[in-house]
């Protein structure tokens, strides 16, 4: 008698990872690359998307907007004529503090996957739980604003450790802050050595060209990380 | 036969609220008032405590420092010769994104309750889940930095709705931001009409006297809200 032994690995028991893999397979079939875009509240995710969303050349971008409540960010992005899908996490008391794979899966039917090459998922503003839940992304980008202080890589290590690009935003404010950029970069290298990082200002446009090019590369079959 | 009917209310089933009430009873017995201090990452909670911690007159303050990982904030506050107890939430994969009543309870034995009049619990930096978990506090204070944008009350309504004081921090940066303070205050009044608010700068010291006086009043038997 032929017998097959199935080894149950811990990851297979993790329902979130199972659903994330299913999402990833659907995105791959549709030829859509996916970026999970994360930061603390108010670090500038939406403004950084506004800066480049209408100007990615041949790349057709769509946005899945995660918020506890409301659609203020989606409304801002829709004005760029970019397809935006809103996902709210507040069926419960105070709302979920992150997106998980199942929430993203519930939005799949509403995403115009055949009309886009790149999907940016703007996660809920939070430096803890979004890092714990894969949603089916190809790459993770996080924004760290210089107004938040230099110590954030050490205080929220999983977020900084699991991302593929760090956008250091609001650098136009550096002359007005007691912020030591070298110290931030030193802490960043302690938790995630050599992770790509870009110094940007969504307000003045400084460094935005590099961010645009990174997104364009992320939409290619090879991806930005190749 | 005498029969007693016990009505099980939803709140009684909520283990967190039950434990929070037990914490509150212990704090009351010790004559210690408790402030739950919350904000997004990097809004300035620790700096606002550094500004006043050593200078509260007759009020003896202690701090319970909640962080996912590390003790950087506790180290900063300990240099003020204020008793500080560190509580880390990272036994799991990425750590908990908030303090709950049971975590605070687990720290009770380490708190020098007989030596203090006021305990400030510095929560994990997050605008979602900390608002959902009472920990046994008398009052809730939140910090909203002007660098985070005006829209935060509408995006994180539970946090703004359940607090007793809003510190609007980093106002020294207003000349360098596209931030409409009137719009923020309008949004704040939409979710929590007439909640006390103070405009402060932990960096320059502007408005800090009012914050110090609020904490001193919070430590009185009547509390700051009387």
Look at the block and give the residue holding tokens 């690359």.
A33
Cα A52 to Cα A43, A45, A67, B3, B144, distances in angstroms: 16, 11, 21, 70, 28
Give the whole-number percent of chain B exceeding pLDDT 70: 92
Q: What is the mean pLDDT of each run of 10 residues along chain A (226 residues)?
A: 55 78 97 98 97 91 93 89 90 78 93 96 95 96 98 96 98 97 98 97 97 96 71
- What pLDDT does B153 receive? 97
Instruction: Note the pLDDT of residue B8.
Output: 52
pLDDT for the residue B7: 52
Angle at A128 between CA A124 and CA A129, to 5 degrees: 65
**Which candidate in A42, A74, A95, A204 is best for mutational testing of the B interface (most B CBs within 10 A)?**
A42
Q: Which residues of B touch A68 (CB under 8 A)?
A: 128, 155-157
Alpha helices in A31-155 (DSSP H): 45-52, 72-78, 101-107, 152-155
**pLDDT (tens digit, 9 = 90+) per residue, B166-214?**
999 999 999 999 999 999 999 999 999 999 999 999 999 999 999 999 9
Tell me, yes or no, if A225 comes closer than 8 A to chain B by beta carbon: no
Task: Work out whether strand B197-199 and strand B139-145 pair parallel, antiparallel, or are unpaired.
Answer: unpaired
Which residues in A18-74 belong to E strands, given as ranges?
33-39, 61-67
**Short-list B61, B12, B10, CA closest to B34:** B61
Axis-axis angle for helices A208-218, A45-52 (nearest 10): 80
Residue B49 has pLDDT above 50, yes or no: yes
The shortest CB-CB distance from B41 to any of A96, A127, A170 is to A127
Query: If you average pLDDT over residues B82-106, what whole number do you get?
Result: 86
What DSSP character marks residue B206? T
Interface contact B191, partner A, CB < 8 A: no
ipTM, interface predicted TM-score of the complex: 0.89
pLDDT digits (tens, 9 = 90+) for B138-171: 999 999 999 999 999 999 999 999 999 999 999 9
pLDDT at residue B91, rounded to an integer: 65
CB-based contact B95:A158 (threshold 8 Å): yes
Q: Where are the beta strands (DSSP E) in B84-196?
A: 84-88, 118-122, 139-145, 165-169
| d(CA B67, nearest CA chain A) in Å | 7
Q: How far is CA B85 from CA A113, A126, A134, B27, B102, in A?
A: 50, 24, 33, 16, 15
Q: What is the predicted pLDDT for the residue at A222?
A: 84
Mean pLDDT computed over B123-137:
95
For chain A positions 64-93, those within 8 Å of chain B (CB to CB) are: 67-70, 72, 93
Q: pLDDT: is A52 or B94 the higher one? A: A52
Buried b / exposed e over A167-204, threshold 16 CB at 10 Å, is bbbbbbbeebbebeeeebbebbeebbeebebbbbbbbe
């Amino acid at each position: 008698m032929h017998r097959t032994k199935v080894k149950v690995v811990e990851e297979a028991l993790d329902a979130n990872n199972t659903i994330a893999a299913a999402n990833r397979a659907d995105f791959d079939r549709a030829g859509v690359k996916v970026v999970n875009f994360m930061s603390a509240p108010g670090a500038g995710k939406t403004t950084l998307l506004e800066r480049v969303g209408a100007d990615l050349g041949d790349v057709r971008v769509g946005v899945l907007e995660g918020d506890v409540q409301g659609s203020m960010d989606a409304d801002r992005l829709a004005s760029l004529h970019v397809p935006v899908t809103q996902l709210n996490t507040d069926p419960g008391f105070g709302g979920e503090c992150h997106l998980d794979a199942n929430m993203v899966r519930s939005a799949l039917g509403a995403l115009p996957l055949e009309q886009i090459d790149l999907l940016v998922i703007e996660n809920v503003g939070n430096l803890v739980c979004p890092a714990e839940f894969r949603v089916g992304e190809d790459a993770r980008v996080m924004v760290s604003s210089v107004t938040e202080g230099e110590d954030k890589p050490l205080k929220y290590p999983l977020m900084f450790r699991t991302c593929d690009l760090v956008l250091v935003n609001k650098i136009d404010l550096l002359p007005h802050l007691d912020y030591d950029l070298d110290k931030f970069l030193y802490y960043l290298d302690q938790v995630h050595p050599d992770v790509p990082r870009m110094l940007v200002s969504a307000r003045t446009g400084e460094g935005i060209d590099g961010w645009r090019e990174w997104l364009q590369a992320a939409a290619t079959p090879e991806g930005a990380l190749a």
